[in-house]
């Protein structure tokens, strides 16, 4: 005897009759990440049609990739955090702070040049980011302060400390080797920044979808209490997730220093929102439990490509903000639709398709 759900409906029987291959393809395409890639391709096609010489150009795509690289590094960490149901507003400030301490240390080491100095600088930046990440994680997990409040606090604190350390004046000390190879160097024609970001993204994808660390991250976001009951140390996992994100923000800080040859203290105040928007557009739910790193990368590519295309087309800057905002709202809307459909069971149709197929008898 078997434990069955309710008797299959006519629609279900119909669906089971479809061939397995097409079903799998459909399932793949239905995945939000693939949908988002298609949206990005549509954007690329439209811009290419409207401005083929300027837009559809290898150098232009190179620039788009570079502009997304640092955000992608931040995006990997943020994806993990948002999957746990948390959020991180502090990443921009941690980036700046890490760049500041890194630059300060490198300036005082020897003559401030050479790979030895650069490596120390990188390690200092990573350590600084890790420190802020641990602070965030500890306050969220142990002190049980809501993530938004914690990271709002560290957003201010990290930036404030950076201002104290520098007197408000950007530091511009970075070894030439760092700027030339990491900031502006190429490896077989691909910008180093892009390669570093790609490596981070790939590691993020593997960690999230193949490792126990990623599985537990999603499990905690889905039902933290259930995790506690089965013996998962939820607090430790949360601290690890926030620490990882902090480490990545530190890495982003040194990449930023290498690329701009400046700690850009005044900038990066909107970085957190840009990254969170990318994560959400990419299909990760703000409510936690599910998400993809790949989606985040595409979600970051979309606003970057839009901005690039709009500048090339000469669209007023304000319109750019409006469109990116519209994308964000649309993405969250589709997330809601998906959640509602999942809650009602996959055998039911979504509200959207019920709306568009009003006359079909089987809905």
CB of 49 to another protein, least distance (A): 10
Task: Find, among 301, 306, 284, the residue nearest to 78 by Cα.
Answer: 284
Give the span between the Cα atoms of 183 and 254, in whole angstroms.
9
Cβ proximity to another protein: between 134 and 339 the closer is 339
Task: For residue 333, give every residue at least 6 positions away whose Cβ sits within 8 Å of its Cβ, in sequence order, or none.
Answer: none
Binding of another protein by 230 (CB under 8 A) = yes
Is 231 one of the binding residues for another protein (CB under 8 A)? yes
Q: Which of 13, 19, 20, 229 binds another protein (CB under 8 A)?
A: 229
If binding is defined by CB under 8 A, does position 222 make contact with another protein?
yes
Identify the burial level of 320 via C-beta atoms within 10 angstroms of its C-beta, where 0-12 means exposed, 13-18 middle and 19 or more buried.
Answer: middle
In whole angstroms, give the CA distance from residue 205 to residue 30: 19
Segment contacting another protein by CB under 8 A, of 72-80, 108-116, 147-155, 312-320: 312-320
Q: Quote the CA–CA distance of 261 and 46 in Å, as a whole number.
A: 35
Q: Among 66, 117, 130, 243, which residue sits at the site for another protein (rule: CB under 8 A)?
A: 66
Q: How far apart are CA 25 and CA 94, in angstroms?
A: 42
Stretch that binds another protein, among 130-138, 139-147, 193-201, 214-222 (CB under 8 A): 214-222
CA distance 79 to 335: 15
- Helix (H) / strand (E) element for 221: namely helix 212-229
Q: Which of 67, 69, 98, 192 binds another protein (CB under 8 A)?
A: 67
Q: Which stretch binds another protein (CB under 8 A): 74-82, 110-118, 148-156, 334-342?
A: 334-342
For 24, phi then psi, to 5°, come to: -70, -40
| By the rule CB under 8 A, 50 interacts with another protein | yes
How far apart are CB 156 and another protein at their closest, in Å? 13
Nearer to another protein by Cβ, of 99 and 246: the residue is 99
Question: Does the protein bind another protein through residue 24 (CB under 8 A)?
Answer: no
Quote the distance between the C-alpha of residue 200 and its chain's center.
Answer: 11
Backbone angles phi, psi at 199, to 5 degrees: -60, -45
Is residue 33 within 8 Å of residue 294, measured between CB atoms?
A: yes
Q: Residue count at the site for another protein (CB under 8 A)?
A: 101
Residue from the set 43, 165, 195, 332 that interacts with another protein by CB under 8 A: 43
| Cβ 179 to another protein shortest distance, Å | 8
Contacts with another protein in 236-295 (CB under 8 A)?
A: 256, 260-262, 264-271, 289-290
The interface region with another protein, picked from 56-64, 101-109, 117-125, 148-156 by CB under 8 A, is 56-64
Q: At closest approach, how far in Å is the CB of 166 from another protein?
A: 9
191 three-state secondary structure = strand
- Tell me the CA distances in angstroms from 265 to 16, 48, 102, 221, one per residue in order: 58, 35, 13, 33
Taking CB under 8 A as the binding criterion, the range among 46-54, 128-136, 146-154, 193-201 that sits at the site for another protein is 46-54
Tell me which of 342, 354, 362, 363 binds another protein, using CB under 8 A. Answer: 342
Residues 6+ apart with CB under 8 A from 25: none
Output 150 or 292, the one with its CB closest to another protein. Answer: 292
Among 316, 358, 359, 361, contact with another protein (rule: CB under 8 A): 316
Interface residue with another protein, options 123, 127, 145, 312 (CB under 8 A): 312
Closest distance to another protein from the beta carbon of 202 (Å): 15
In 10 A of CB 313, how many CB atoms? 13
Within positions 148 to 187, which residues make up the interface with another protein, using CB under 8 A?
A: 167-170, 172, 183-184
**How far is the CA of 214 from the CAs of 110, 208, 338, in angstroms?**
41, 4, 22
């Amino acid at each position: 005897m078997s434990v069955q759900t309710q008797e299959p409906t006519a629609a279900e029987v119909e669906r089971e009759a479809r061939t397995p291959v097409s079903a799998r393809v459909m399932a793949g395409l239905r995945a939000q990440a693939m949908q988002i890639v298609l949206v990005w391709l549509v954007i690329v096609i439209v811009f290419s049609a409207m401005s083929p010489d300027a837009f559809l150009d290898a150098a232009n795509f190179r620039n788009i990739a570079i502009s997304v690289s640092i955000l992608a590094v931040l995006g990997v960490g943020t994806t993990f955090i948002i999957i746990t149901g948390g959020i991180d507003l502090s990443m921009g400030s941690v980036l700046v702070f890490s760049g500041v301490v890194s630059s300060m240390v490198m300036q005082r080491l020897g003559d401030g040049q050479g790979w030895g100095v650069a490596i120390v600088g990188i390690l200092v930046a990573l350590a600084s980011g890790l420190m802020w990440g641990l602070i965030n994680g500890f306050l969220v997990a142990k002190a049980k302060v809501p993530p938004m409040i914690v990271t709002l606090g560290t957003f201010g604190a990290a930036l404030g400390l950076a201002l104290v350390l520098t007197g408000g004046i950007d530091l511009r000390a970075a070894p030439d080797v760092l700027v030339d190879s990491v900031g502006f160097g190429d490896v077989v024609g691909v910008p180093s920044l892009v390669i570093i970001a790609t490596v981070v993204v790939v590691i993020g994808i593997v960690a999230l979808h193949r490792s126990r660390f990623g599985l537990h991250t999603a499990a905690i976001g889905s039902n933290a209490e259930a995790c506690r009951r089965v013996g998962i140390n939820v607090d430790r996992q949360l601290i690890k997730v926030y620490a990882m994100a902090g480490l990545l923000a530190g890495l982003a800080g040194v990449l930023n220093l290498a690329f701009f040859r400046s700690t850009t203290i005044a900038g990066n105040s909107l970085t957190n929102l840009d990254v969170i928007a990318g994560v959400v557009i990419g299909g990760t739910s703000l409510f936690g439990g599910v998400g993809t790193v790949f989606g985040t990368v595409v979600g970051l590519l979309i606003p970057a490509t839009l901005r690039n295309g709009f500048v090339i087309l000469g669209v007023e800057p304000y319109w750019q903000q409006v469109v990116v905002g519209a994308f964000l709202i649309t993405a969250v809307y589709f997330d809601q639709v998906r959640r509602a459909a999942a809650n009602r069971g996959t055998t039911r149709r979504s509200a959207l398709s019920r709306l568009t197929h009003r006359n079909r008898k089987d809905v």
